Amino acid sequence: MVATAVGVSGPHNIRDAANTSTEWPAWDAQSLTRIASQFARTLDLSHQVLQRVARGELTPAAIDDALRELARARGEEYTDRLSQLAERFTSGLVEVMTAGGVDRPSPDRVHQITRLYADLLGGFNDLRAGQIEDCLRTLLTSATATVSDPSRALVLVASLSGTASTALIVENEGTERIAIHCVASDVRRADGVGPAFVPEISLTPDGQTIEPGQEGRVLASLRLDAAVYESERLYVGALRVMGERGPRLEVPLHIMATRGAR
């Protein structure tokens, strides 16, 4: 038995409204399950990132540069997906309104419009969750290179006017090969006296590719010019190991010129 209600625009099938009311609980359950799964993944990735930060494998500069690179590399893709969501919603809305005419909307048409809005909001949520996961995974990827002994600084010590040399060992703990090169930050006296300046450090090789599970060696050498460095004064800075997506890690750099050979 099918009951009908007659309105201004004609008969409306009450069964359509009943079907609509039974579809929404199932749709809501699916949406909540998907959102819960997305939240669980985000929470797990966030915890991993925080662990890397706590171990010093992710510096603020590395995080900033990695996210800037992600925005540059994936920004257009995200914009396209957002445009597709808007276009799909607009096209669906026009189709529903055109097919139904301008009379009072039927329960079925209300259901279709509501579903379009629900799909739009669900698409926005999926896009947002995907962007957050991409950001977190990018940060984890940017922290796959580690220094053999991260508790020790890179130390350059030699007599004044002499040349100090040392080596930095970088190990690739990830599953993909990485391309790296090193750059030195500004340095200044540890006691804060005097301005910061760029040290003329020679880094060899200029760049290299490290296979998974393998090590790379960077030789650092610096002439301790008497016109630049004071003897027996500690100068501090950092040596940044750069990857294709920005800084991977930052190693403390200590420089000291001595009065005699050491």
Q: What is the pLDDT of residue 139?
A: 82
Q: What is the pLDDT of residue 17?
A: 45
Long-range contacts from 123-126, C-beta under 8 angstroms, 24+ separation: 123/85, 123/88, 124/85, 125/35, 125/38, 126/34, 126/38
Residue 3 confidence (pLDDT) above 60 = no
Q: Where are the domains of the chain?
A: 4-141, 145-258
- Looking at residue 231, the DSSP 8-state letter turns out to be B
Residue 256 confidence (pLDDT) above 70 = yes
pLDDT band at residue 153 under the 50/70/90 scheme: confident
Residue 5 confidence (pLDDT) above 90 = no
Where does residue 213 fall: left (phi above 0), alpha (psi -120 to 50 degrees), or beta otherwise? left
Q: What is the pLDDT of residue 222?
A: 96
For the residues 239-254, what does the mean pLDDT come to?
Answer: 77
Q: What is the pLDDT of residue 102?
A: 57
The per-residue pLDDT for range 14-49, each reduced to its tens digit, is 444 445 555 656 666 777 888 888 888 899 999 888
Residue 89 confidence (pLDDT) above 50 = yes
Query: What's the pTM value of the predicted model, to 2 decimals?
Result: 0.47
For the residues 96-113, what does the mean pLDDT come to?
Answer: 74
More confident of the two residues 192 and 246:
192
More confident of the two residues 232 and 103:
232
Residues 6+ apart with CB under 8 A from 217: 167, 168, 169, 170
The percent of residues above 90 in pLDDT, for the chain, comes to 23
Residues 6+ apart with CB under 8 A from 27: 115, 118
Whole-number average pLDDT of the chain? 79
More confident of the two residues 12 and 37:
37
Q: Which two tokens stand for residue 21?
A: 């009311």
Q: Which range scores top for mean pLDDT: 51-65, 116-130, 141-155?
A: 116-130
Taking the domain 145-258, which CATH number applies?
2.60.40.10
More confident of the two residues 216 and 149:
216
Q: What is the pLDDT of residue 25?
A: 64
Residue 161 confidence (pLDDT) above 90 = yes
Question: For helices 107-141 and 60-100, what crossing angle results, to 10°?
Answer: 160
Which strands sit side by side in the sheet containing 163-172, from one edge to the other?
145-147, 163-172, 215-223, 202-204
The per-residue pLDDT for range 197-235, each reduced to its tens digit, is 999 999 999 889 999 889 999 999 999 999 999 999 999
Q: Give the type of residue at 239.
A: L
